[in-house]
A and B are shown apart, each in its own frame.
Chain A
Amino acid sequence: MAEQITMQVARYRPEQEEAPTFQEYEVPCPKDWVILDGLNYVKDRLDGTLSYRWSCRMGICGSCGMTVNGEPKLTCATFLADYAPGPLRVEPLRNFPVIRDLVVEIGDFMRKLVRVKPWIVRDDEKPVSEGEYLQTPQELDEYKQFSMCINCMLCYAACPIYGLDQAFIGPAAIALAQRYNLDTRDEGAAERHEVLSQHEGIWGCTFVGECTEVCPKNVDPAGAIQRYKLTAAMDSLRALVMPRGSR
């Protein structure tokens, strides 16, 4: 039989309690179990009342982000055995309101994401009969890293600026805006600039860099934000020097 590990799981049942408490569960700890397996074991065998989000189990859907021993982690990509002999503490993602147990309210992020228009914006759509919008591998490389974002929101949980000022548009939304700004097929950079150049846009970021540290997909949102700051600053400078021909 595999060894056991103690999971201290945050519980918040708003109909019962004012603030979250911790409940301990003993779960098996085989080498190949991730934290999500431990939570599923609790749900299936020990306590069916535990609430949490998950879907794909393979680091694609971005649903199972939680705080593990104080660090934002994808629970499907973090092994239980790495925390042996335990105990390990599982809490909801920080900086978001908690709805129940490990489930956080993500509406704020979803609304911000839409504001940066994370899709290809075209001035004129060419007819399908004219074929695809072609792109070279080099052009793809420009934005590919930023396109790996799975919207898991670990970067928001790690960002103290977002924690202190919820108006900040946040790392993932800016990285995704950059993903489309750097795409040669896109023509929406000016529209996104309206949102990104506001105080709560890129200038809210003070480059703590933790968003990049915790990103499970190596997206480097901090890099995306700083690169956009450089672009925005150069645009402003150009507008100042050449007021008529800057754009």
Chain B
Amino acid sequence: MSGPRIAGARHPRWFRPHVSTYWWLRRRSYFAFIMRELSSIFVAWGVIYLLLLVRAVSHGASRYQEFLAWSVRPVVLAINLVTLGFVVYHAITWFNLSPQAMVVRLRGKRVPPLWILASNYLACAVISAFVLWLVLAGGG
């Protein structure tokens, strides 16, 4: 039964380097990636906060005022400021990666990656301006 021995997936004499728990501190790009992954938690918090706001509004003026009072507490304010930072980071890093994932063709020619990047930022600027106008016009 014993034929020539072929080394399997594991061999007792191979050296298998251990991956450190802090591998993500080894390179700047790894750190940037882990921060992008971490930012998802803050993006999720942003969504929950928005849902809480909608819920407060739907329960009437007094609940809305309570929500606002809660929102200006230093801890909530600090969390929301950190959230804003992470959400912006999340958006920018994903915008920057999008040309790699999207291949768009116009009249048979591939649209340059820079155009895709620029269109992302343009769309973001237009939507932000619209939201700002909506808020300011509504406030006035």
A residues lining the B interface (CB < 8 Å)? 12, 14-15, 19-20, 70, 94, 97-99, 105, 107-108, 138, 160, 163-164, 206-210, 212-213, 220, 222-223, 226-227, 229-230
Q: Which of B62-70, B79-87, B97-105, B129-137 contacts A (4 or more CB under 8 A)?
A: B97-105
- Is the beta-carbon distance between B29 and A163 smaller than 8 angstroms? no
Q: How far, in angstroms, from A153 to B23 measured CA to CA in the complex?
A: 19
> CB-CB < 8 A to A222: which residues of B?
100
Which residues 14-46 in B have Cβ within 8 Å of A in the complex?
14-17, 19, 23-24, 26-27, 29-30, 33, 37
Q: Which of the residues B15, B23, B33 comes within 8 Å of A14, measured between beta carbons? A: B15
What distance in Å separates the Cβ of B14 from its nearest Cβ neighbour in chain A?
4
- Is the beta-carbon distance between A160 and B17 smaller than 8 angstroms? no
What distance in Å separates the Cβ of A198 from its nearest Cβ neighbour in chain B?
18
- Is the beta-carbon distance between A206 and B33 smaller than 8 angstroms? yes
What distance in Å separates the Cβ of A95 from its nearest Cβ neighbour in chain B?
8
- Is the beta-carbon distance between A206 and B15 smaller than 8 angstroms? no
Q: Which of the residues B17, B33, B102 comes within 8 Å of A209, measured between beta carbons? A: B33
* Nearest neighbor of B29 in chain A, beta-carbon distance: A210
> CB-CB < 8 A to A108: which residues of B?
9
> CB-CB < 8 A to A206: which residues of B?
33, 37
- Known contacts A98-B14, A230-B102; A209/B19 CB under 8 A: no
- Is the beta-carbon distance between A160 and B30 smaller than 8 angstroms? yes
> CB-CB < 8 A to B108: which residues of A?
138
- Known contacts A209-B29, A209-B33; A98/B15 CB under 8 A: yes
Q: How far, in angstroms, from A4 to B102 measured CA to CA in the complex?
A: 47
Total chain B interface residues with beta-carbon distance under 8 A? 23
* Nearest neighbor of A213 in chain B, beta-carbon distance: B29
List, sorted by A's number, 18 A–B pairs whose CB atoms are closer than 8 Å: A14-B13, A19-B15, A20-B15, A98-B17, A107-B7, A107-B9, A160-B23, A163-B19, A207-B33, A209-B29, A209-B97, A209-B100, A212-B100, A213-B29, A226-B97, A227-B101, A230-B101, A230-B102
Q: How far, in angstroms, from A227 to B7 measured CA to CA in the complex?
A: 36
* Nearest neighbor of B30 in chain A, beta-carbon distance: A160
- Is the beta-carbon distance between A226 and B33 smaller than 8 angstroms? no
- Is the beta-carbon distance between A210 and B100 smaller than 8 angstroms? no
Q: How far, in angstroms, from A164 to B17 measured CA to CA in the complex?
A: 11
> CB-CB < 8 A to B17: which residues of A?
94, 98
- Known contacts A12-B15, A97-B14, A206-B33; A70/B26 CB under 8 A: yes
> CB-CB < 8 A to A227: which residues of B?
101, 103
Q: How far, in angstroms, from A212 to B37 measured CA to CA in the complex?
A: 19
- Is the beta-carbon distance between B29 and A223 smaller than 8 angstroms? no
> CB-CB < 8 A to B59: which residues of A?
none
Q: Which of the residues A12, A15, A138, A210 comes within 8 Å of B30, measured between beta carbons? A: A210
- Is the beta-carbon distance between B23 and A208 smaller than 8 angstroms? no
Q: Which of the residues A105, A163, A213, A230 comes within 8 Å of B14, measured between beta carbons? A: A105
Q: How far, in angstroms, from A170 to B42 measured CA to CA in the complex?
A: 29
* Nearest neighbor of B102 in chain A, beta-carbon distance: A230
> CB-CB < 8 A to B30: which residues of A?
160, 208, 210
What distance in Å separates the Cβ of A183 from its nearest Cβ neighbour in chain B?
15
- Is the beta-carbon distance between B100 and A223 smaller than 8 angstroms? yes
Q: How far, in angstroms, from A88 to B37 measured CA to CA in the complex?
A: 33
Q: How far, in angstroms, from A222 to B97 measured CA to CA in the complex?
A: 10
What distance in Å separates the Cβ of A142 from its nearest Cβ neighbour in chain B?
9
Q: How far, in angstroms, from A230 to B24 measured CA to CA in the complex?
A: 27
**Chain B 79-121, CB within 8 Å of chain A: the 1/0 string?**
0000000000000000001001111000010000000000000
